[in-house]
Amino acid sequence: MYHSYHSCMKRYNNVRYTTCADSLPLLYHPKPSASTARGDRPLCGKCRAPLITGHPINASDANFRRFIDKSDLPVVVDFWATWCGPCQQFAPVYSQVADEMATQAVFLKLDTEANQQTAATFQIRSIPTLMVFHHGAEITRLSGALPRPQLLQWLGQHLPKN
């Protein structure tokens, strides 16, 4: 979870992190620095709480487009449903990879049952489906759950290189 002080706005390695309980975090990442590439995570300049925790963010119909359009980092989305067995088995793998790659991409989860409009917009026919977006455009998609090594390999092949 992102730190929720409205007054906390921090520049870290040329990245501006704005957090607020009433709005979405906006990530601007023009060029990754050496410390970001090492995986260092920014802290709030006021209270020293982590601004990026590495947990996937639950998206909805109301905020999905904003995440996709406003992030300069690539966005990885897991389309899933609560009743889906493979989705439930894949969730810990996705969370672990999201933690490992928290400074390289934004990781979202979208429940297709609760957010049918977004699922229909992207023609999600099978779950789990993974999609990668960059600057608002879809880069690739994959249907089905992957083990951690294959997920890391797939992301390595499809995430834009900075």
Quick check: 11 pLDDT over 80? no
**Active site includes 8?**
no
pLDDT digits 0-9 by tens, 115-148? 999 999 999 999 999 999 999 999 999 999 999 9
Residue ranges per structural domain of the chain: 1-53, 54-162
Q: For residue 22, name the pLDDT band (cuts at 50, 70, 90).
A: very low
CATH superfamily, domain at 54-162: Glutaredoxin (3.40.30.10)
Q: Are 130 and 76 in contact (CB under 8 A)?
A: yes
pLDDT over 90 percentage in the chain: 62
Q: State pTM to two decimals.
A: 0.73
**Active site includes 87?**
yes
What distance in Å separates the CA atoms of residue 40 and residue 29, rounded to the nearest whole number?
14
